Amino acid sequence: MSEAPYLVIMAGGSGTRFWPKSTAKKPKQLLSFGSSNDTLLGTTLKRFDGLSPEDRRVIVTTQSLAAATKEAVGPATHVLSEPMGRNTAPCVYWAARWVAERDPKAVMMVMPADHHMASVKDFRATLERAVRWATEHDDLVTLGIQPSRPETGYGYLKLGNEVSKGPCRKVQAFVEKPDRARAEAYVASGEYLWNGGMFLWRAETILKAFDSLMPEMKREWDAAKGDVSAAYPRMTATSIDYGIMEKAPNVVTFPLDCGWDDLGSWISLETTTLPGVARGPAGVVAGGEVFAVESSGNVIDAPGRVVALLGVKDLVVVEHNGVLMILPKSRTQDVKLVLDQVKAARPEKA
């Protein structure tokens, strides 16, 4: 490839999913997991070392997280603060304009801040192939994750025709989170990948797609004359998936098989293998010294505590920041229900 690609990291988040370890002031990407000393954001950035130099890296975050984010990244890394959350389409549009001002032909990689890749080597191999494709084609490229289970919590990409001899395939459709039966059929067919929210394209390619599918974005942006605070409230608050990817004709995907996990809830401590996270008879232990009798399948993170369990199965037991949270593993998607109560009464703990 001619020029090094730009890296755009979307790093907002409300700190809900790993609460009480994560909080609104310190969401997941600013935390470290297992025995790593790096934040997830730092780990994410490292995966692009040697590919995207620091001054071509842009972190898009919220105003309330801007200071903490700047501290967590190198001094040459750019940080863009969104004046308000408007879902991912305005965020991608801003980043694309930002890159296009510098080099409209440059490839930009749009990546989440806080996902896990067991094999960075495999990730890099696929990524570099995808970057090369995006450099040479007027396509919207996405990395589609090889599914390892019939997950109902993710959207899927339905594969279309091969577009070359290589692994690159057209994306026939973006599919919403399926029910269990559909998820099983998708995985069995071999014709579906998980949508992991990882995109690559030349800045001018995605801007062309916006002009075609969401022409109001350019209109509002230009009307605000570069004043993001003025433009943002008028831009369409939708996802890049819904606004562009599901509708664009030129979407292709490179299948990614690198032990990806979105670290979407406390259960991810079970589905990943993080250094410093131990698997014992009582379950997975990320923090705390656990003693257990007739207990299994638990997810435990209570650093500095002796944790004594008796006859306790399939619970999430977490203590951070003076907050002890207990729930069955089957309810991890509902953390927000109790977090909302805490937020109302003790906002400093949320």
Token pair in block for residue 244: 């562009």
Segment near a second copy (CB under 8 A), from 1-9, 30-38, 206-214, 285-293? 285-293
324 lies in the binding site for a second copy (CB under 8 A): yes
The answer to whether residues 313 and 295 touch, using CB atoms and an 8 Å cutoff, is yes
Query: Which residue in the set 51, 125, 163, 342 belongs to the binding site for a second copy (CB under 8 A)?
Result: 342
Judged on CB neighbours under 10 Å (0-12, 13-18, 19+), 169 is buried
Residue 315 found at the interface with a second copy (CB under 8 A): yes
Task: Compute the 3-state secondary structure of the chain and give helix, strand, coil in percent, each to the nearest 5.
Answer: 35, 30, 35
Return left, alpha or beta for 90; rule: phi > 0 is left, psi -120 to 50 is alpha, else beta. Answer: alpha
Q: Does 308 bind a second copy (CB under 8 A)?
A: yes
For residue 8, the cross-strand partners are 58, 110
Any contact of residue 137 with a second copy (CB under 8 A)?
no
Nearer to a second copy, 185 or 324 (CB): 324
Binds a second copy by CB under 8 A, chosen from 37, 75, 275, 306: 306
Q: Which of 104, 255, 288, 297 binds a second copy (CB under 8 A)?
A: 288
Per CB under 8 A, 346 contacts a second copy: yes
Site track 13-52 with a second copy (rule: CB under 8 A), x = hit: -------x--------------------------------
Residue with tokens 């997280």: 65
Is 291 a binding residue for a second copy by CB under 8 A? The answer is yes
Binding of a second copy by 234 (CB under 8 A): no
Residue pair 134/202 in contact by the 8 Å Cβ criterion? yes
CB of 15 to a second copy, least distance (A): 14
What is the spatial distance between Cα 259 and Cα 278, in angstroms, rounded to a whole number?
Answer: 18
Piece of 6-14, 62-70, 158-166, 289-297 that binds a second copy (CB under 8 A): 289-297
Report d(CA 139, CA 23) in Å as an integer: 38
Structure tokens at 249: 């004709």
Residue 38 to residues 31, 44, 115, Cα–Cα distance (Å): 8, 9, 13
CB of residue 287 vs a second copy: minimum separation in angstroms?
A: 11
Minimum Å gap between C-beta 313 and a second copy is 10
CB nearer a second copy, residue 168 or residue 335: 335
